[in-house]
């Protein structure tokens, strides 16, 4: 299987890496499925509930900061570093990620090559004017005031720069992701259960457009049968062959 993966990568000219929570578990960030997970203790709040009141916004931000505190400082893992290596040698054109942890940027891949479908959780943003706010500021506002923090520039609603359940997908990123998917000749799914839509549609589009499809994930996914190669093993163990 590893030989086939190496051959596919060698033969490809335009690779897209499509990553999910599984690429970051070895960095200490639990995916949604891990038993007794932090995600069930501090369950994320959906978008409508977040908007409903300052109390819910406060609670949503508080839960997010709790998860972040629980996870602590994180560094890119072998999967991130392997993709960064493939980007450096020009084979990998884009990484389309469902992750919000910023670890692809931390591995040295340029911002133009990273497409974040679910936003970025390493900072917050004003929903009204788009101004960026740091999480340390959000934490200190929560400490100092009883309600939810308001944007310093326009008094708008401040939320982590993530896309919550119930929130519209980011338009520009969806367009970029589709273009990258249609241009690639190898589409590699890495650590996604492929159950969250519309993200899970991209590998199907790639395959229908003639690209080879590889899925690396510990568990089976609903589209394994479409793939040219499926590897049900640990991501870091598999991808470290691309580390120099």
Q: What residues act catalytically?
A: 118
Shortest Å distance, C-beta 76 to ligand NAD: 11
**92 φ, ψ (degrees, to nearest 5):** -95, 120
Q: Which long-range contacts (CB under 8 A, 24 or more apart) does 30-38 make?
A: 30/71, 31/191, 31/193, 32/193, 33/193, 33/219, 38/66, 38/67, 38/70, 38/71
Q: Determine if 32 is a binding residue for ligand NAD (CB under 6 A).
A: yes
Other CB atoms within 10 Å distance of the CB of residue 168: 8
Contacts of Zn ion in 150-179 (CB under 5 A): 151, 153-154, 156
Each residue 135-174 as x (binds ligand NAD by CB under 6 A) or -, in order, gives ----------------------------------------
The answer to whether the CB of 126 falls within 8 A of the CB of 151 is yes
Rounded to the nearest 5°, which phi and psi values hold at 67? -60, -45
Q: In angstroms, rounded to a whole number, what is the distance separating the alpha carbons of residues 230 and 218?
A: 10
- Of the listed pieces 4-12, 145-153, 170-178, 211-219, which binds Zn ion according to CB under 5 A? 145-153
The least CB distance from residue 155 to ligand NAD, in Å, is 29
Q: Is 127 in the site for Zn ion (CB under 5 A)?
A: no
Q: Is 219 in the site for ligand NAD (CB under 6 A)?
A: yes
Binding site for ligand NAD (CB under 6 A): 20-22, 24-26, 29, 31-33, 98-101, 118, 191-193, 196, 217-219, 234-235
């Amino acid at each position: 299987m590893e030989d086939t993966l190496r051959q596919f990568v060698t033969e490809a000219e335009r690779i897209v890496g499509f990553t999910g929570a599984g690429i970051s578990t070895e960095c200490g960030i639990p995916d949604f499925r891990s038993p007794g997970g932090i995600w069930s203790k501090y369950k994320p709040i959906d978008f409508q509930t977040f908007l409903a009141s300052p109390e819910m916004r406060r609670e949503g931000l508080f839960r997010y900061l709790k998860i972040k505190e629980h996870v602590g400082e994180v560094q890119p893992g072998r999967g991130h570093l392997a993709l960064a290596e493939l980007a450096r040698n020009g084979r990998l054109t884009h990484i389309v990620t469902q992750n919000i942890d910023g670890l692809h940027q931390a591995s040295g891949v340029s911002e133009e090559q990273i497409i974040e479908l679910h936003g970025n959780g390493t900072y917050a943003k004003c929903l009204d004017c788009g101004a960026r706010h740091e999480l340390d500021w959000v934490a200190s506002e929560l400490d100092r005031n009883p309600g939810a923090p308001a944007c310093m520039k326009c008094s708008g609603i401040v939320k982590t720069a993530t896309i919550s359940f119930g929130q519209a997908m980011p338009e520009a990123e969806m367009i970029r992701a589709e273009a990258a998917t249609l241009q690639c000749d190898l589409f590699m799914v890495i650590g996604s259960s492929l159950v969250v839509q519309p993200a899970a549609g991209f590998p199907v589009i790639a395959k229908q457009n003639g690209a080879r499809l590889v899925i690396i994930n510990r568990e089976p996914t609903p589209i394994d049968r479409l793939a040219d190669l499926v590897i049900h093993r640990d991501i870091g163990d598999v991808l470290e062959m691309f580390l120099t």
